[in-house]
Amino acid sequence: MSDDTSDATDGLTVAIIPARGGSKGVPRKNLRTVGGVPLVVRAIRAARDAAGIDLVVVSTDDDEIAAVSAAAGARVVRRPAEISGDTASSESAILHAVDEIEAAGERVGIIAFVQATSPFLPSAALAGAVAEVRADRADSVFSAHETYGFLWRRGSGAEGGGDGSDDGAGGQATAINHEAAHRPRRQDREPHYLETGAFYVFRAEAFRTSRHRFFGRIRIAEVPEWTAIEIDDAQQLRIADALAAVHDRAGEAPGRIDVRAVVTDFDGVHTDDTAIIDADGGERVRVSREDGMGVALLRRAGIPMLILSTEQNPVVRARAEKLRVPVLHGIDDKEQALRAWAADAGIRLDDVAYLGNDVNDLPAMRIVGWPVAVANAHPRVLAAARVVLTRTGGNGAVRELVERVLPD
């Protein structure tokens, strides 16, 4: 048993997620969505779902990331500018966060360093890594996946051991983990493990001493290879978003949208986004009685609902009064209006479903746990949605959402 074992059993196990506001490769990367969920929120949820994690903390210098993280249930530690630049290390952010937590009177025993740039972090593997450290079987554990790949290095001819010629494509290739002239079958090769960067779990006191994530007895937490994508550029973000459509839905109860409140746009959601204008300039819209029944079922179940619209037309309020739900219309800033409404209602934004159809819904969709789109929504809204309904606006989309929210 190592000398610093006591720190793993005394104190909190804290997941710390460094999330700067600045990013050159993908601007505002930590707020970009995968499967309709911001990357930082995906990391928070994965950490919250991991057994053995007592506290989830986001270290950030950015107001918007701070607000989104708090709404998702994380504690926010504001990172000073001197450790928020491009050259600042993750270790410096973690050390600062631990200092802030302990200055508040809480002791940190184990640290789980979680990266928001890994959107498919498996909670079970993170929990297993925590258990390894807590049981004193390791001092540091990191996520990695098994690989049998043949690795090569490109370099100069001299480095490659060849004739010194340069092929014009980076120099002569050199085999790294195998002999170039020997090609054994996969079953005859020893596997290697590729670090994914998703998470690192280690003892707090030993980390303070080493100021590095690797020390002492180091073990691997093996994760599936498909979870290993890390977002460093726009193409990886697109790939992750495509994967989310398959893997996220596989992990959720079929069709279930687990929320405590529903907020919807009006035009294009309760209506088919068309209007009839009479000679006096008055507007008439078409709505679905099926949607009306869905709203009634939601109201009877005691789940709060709000209609949030930029439209100032009296028809919006008239429909809301008919449905007996509150309405905020003529709203230019839907995000701030939604934040204020949720705060007044005592509902976390992570527990809200927002149903939208057009680009003015995107700010509100970005901050909720369940951004939902009608089937005929704008392409940018479809891309931002965690769930895309099968029905179009004005044709039962609201009813479909309600049926997926209400328990069986």
Q: What is the CATH number of the domain that holds 336?
A: 3.40.50.1000
Number of domains in the chain: 3
- Which pLDDT value is given to residue 312? 78
Q: Which tokens hold the place of 283?
A: 């507007």
Contacts of 335 (CB under 8 A, 6+ apart): 363, 364, 366, 367
Q: Are residues 236 and 274 in the same domain?
A: no
Span 295-304, average pLDDT: 95
Q: Are residues 204 and 335 in the same domain?
A: no
- What is the rounded CA–CA span in Å between residue 68 and residue 214? 30
Q: Are residues 28 and 154 in the same domain?
A: no
Q: Are residues 183 and 208 in the same domain?
A: no
Q: Are residues 65 and 132 in the same domain?
A: yes
Reported confidence tier of residue 1, pLDDT bands at 50, 70, 90 = very low
Contact 229, 119 (CB under 8 A): yes
Tell me if 256 is assigned to some domain.
no
DSSP 8-class letter at 50: S
With a cut of 50, say whether residue 6 has pLDDT above it: no
Q: Are residues 177 and 326 in the same domain?
A: no
Tell me if 216 is assigned to some domain.
yes
Q: Are residues 217 and 297 in the same domain?
A: no
Report which of residues 368 and 256 the model is more confident about: 368
Q: How much of the chain, in percent, has pLDDT values that exceed 90?
A: 58
Work out the mean pLDDT of the chain and round it to a whole number: 87
- What is the rounded CA–CA span in Å between residue 138 and residue 15? 17
Q: Are residues 243 and 164 in the same domain?
A: no
**Amino acid letter for position 184:** P
Q: Are residues 285 and 400 in the same domain?
A: yes
Tell me if 255 is assigned to some domain.
no
Q: Are residues 156 and 44 in the same domain?
A: no
User: Which of 250, 272, 292 is a domain's end point?
Assistant: 250
Q: Are residues 55 and 195 in the same domain?
A: yes
- What is the rounded CA–CA span in Å between residue 347 and residue 304? 10
Reported confidence tier of residue 163, pLDDT bands at 50, 70, 90 = very low
With a cut of 60, say whether residue 169 has pLDDT above it: no
Report which of residues 70 and 245 the model is more confident about: 70
- Which pLDDT value is given to residue 182? 85
- Which pLDDT value is given to residue 162? 45
Span 318-331, average pLDDT: 92
Question: Structural domain of residue 157, as residue ranges?
Answer: 149-188
Q: Are residues 243 and 327 in the same domain?
A: no
- What is the rounded CA–CA span in Å between residue 96 and residue 79? 8
Contact 62, 75 (CB under 8 A): no
Here the CATH number for the domain that contains residue 35 is: 3.90.550.10
Span 121-134, average pLDDT: 95
